[in-house]
Amino acid sequence: MEKLILTAAITGSVHVPTMSEHLPSTPKDIADDAVRAAEAGAAVVHLHARSPQDGRPSADLNHVREIVTSVKKRSDVVICITTGGGVGMTVEQRAAVVPEFKPEMASFNMGSMNFGLFPIKERYKEFKYEWEPAYLDASRDMVFKNTFKDLEGFCKIMRENGTKPELECYDVGQIYNAAYMLRAGHLDTPIHMQFVMGILGGITPTVDNMIHMKRVADEEFGAGKFTWSVIGAGYPAEFHLGAVATVLGGHVRVGMEDNLRLSRKEKCKSNADLVEKMARIIQNLDRDLATPDDARKMLGLKGKDKVNF
Ligand code: KMH
Ligand code: ZN
């Protein structure tokens, strides 16, 4: 089997600061944690920004710039910037990072859907910041908008800026959306997919479901003709699905964007904790970890010197 690309998703926009005192929230903390995750074995870091004042998910390009320039200066890791953003951000705000930074990779969400974070609110009586309960509640009436027109727009800017899209598929139907976009000439081969499993509004994170998603992708794109990775949102899905994907020849994403727990008894203290644990599982299953440069070759990325930051 080829080497395994381990991605670390550092902070995201799903979790709120109340959930973990270790969730990196300032641009400096996000960048520091990304560098440590790379040192622990991640070949790719998936990055969102948060406001340094209160940890709220941020679409401010200055916050993103602070993070990506700091990571690039200190690490060779592949930087994948989100275009998924967070609750309340417009498609235009989410897409702006691509022409601005021309990253090697960016996430590309493959369909409109419900994206329910509101059950998290019920788990807490008090919140660290005032914005958190309202933010979680807003997801009750939010459509995560990625219409076909939006998908065409994302394809266009990624192509124009030499950014490799990572196709985030939260359910089987979104794999068919990706296949349509490829047939219609909007995407280039080879494609790289991320099966995102465990979001309320998407598919549940079971092994059966992951194998079904892989089977559908094989049928649509041809077995061995695309690369794929898995996110199991939550614990233990992150590690269980990661282990099965390792055996099946896939790639794996872990990180505090998707899961805050290191074991049944213990929360993680950093992204590096999660990366180290997953790296051990991968190596025990006899897959070698890809370096950032291996990942660049395997994914056909343009190179770190061709970004705009
Ligand atoms: N937060 C994950 C469930 C994105 O940033 O574009 C999905 C994600 C999407 O990472
Ligand atoms: Zn993300």
pLDDT digits (tens, 9 = 90+) for 273-304: 999 999 999 999 999 999 999 999 999 999 99
Whether residue 82 has its Cβ less than 6 Å from ligand 1: yes
Nearest-atom number in ligand 1 for the CA of 168 is 9
Distance 257 CA to ligand 2 centre (A): 7
Most distant CA pair in the chain: distance in Å? 50
pLDDT for 1: 87
Ligand 2 is an ion; its neighbours by CB within 5 Å are 12, 82, 84
- Check if 196 has its Cβ closer than 6 Å to any atom of ligand 1: yes
Percent residues over pLDDT 90 in the chain: 100
Predicted structure pTM score: 0.98
pLDDT at 155 (0 to 100): 98
Does residue 106 line the site of ligand 1, with CB under 6 A? no
How many angstroms does the Cα of residue 108 sit away from the middle of ligand 2?
10
84 in contact with ligand 1, CB cutoff 6 A: yes
Q: Which atom of ligand 1 is nearest to the CA of 48?
A: 5
CA dist., res. 164 & res. 7, Å (int) = 15
Mean pLDDT of 67-74: 98
Q: Would you say the CB of residue 233 lies under 6 angstroms from ligand 1?
A: yes
pLDDT digits (tens, 9 = 90+) for 120-166: 999 999 999 999 999 999 999 999 999 999 999 999 999 999 999 99
Which residue type is seen at 228?
W
The confidence score (pLDDT) of residue 273 equals: 98
Task: Give residue 111's pLDDT band: very low, low, confident or very high (50, 70, 90).
Answer: very high
Atom 4 in ligand 1: residue holding the nearest Cα: 84
pLDDT tens digits, 236-269: 999 999 999 999 999 999 999 999 999 999 999 9
Is residue 174 lining ligand 1, measured as CB closer than 6 Å?
no
Q: Which atom number of ligand 1 is nearest to the Cα of residue 12? A: 1
Residue 44 has pLDDT above 90, yes or no: yes
Residues with Cβ within 8 Å of 147's Cβ and at least 6 positions away in sequence, in order, are 112
Tokens encoding 34 = 């990304």
Is 107's C-beta closer than 6 angstroms to any atom of ligand 1?
yes
Q: pLDDT tens digits, residue range 173-190?
A: 999 999 999 999 999 999
Task: Tell me how far CA of residue 179 lies from CA of 224, 275, 291, in angstroms.
Answer: 15, 31, 29
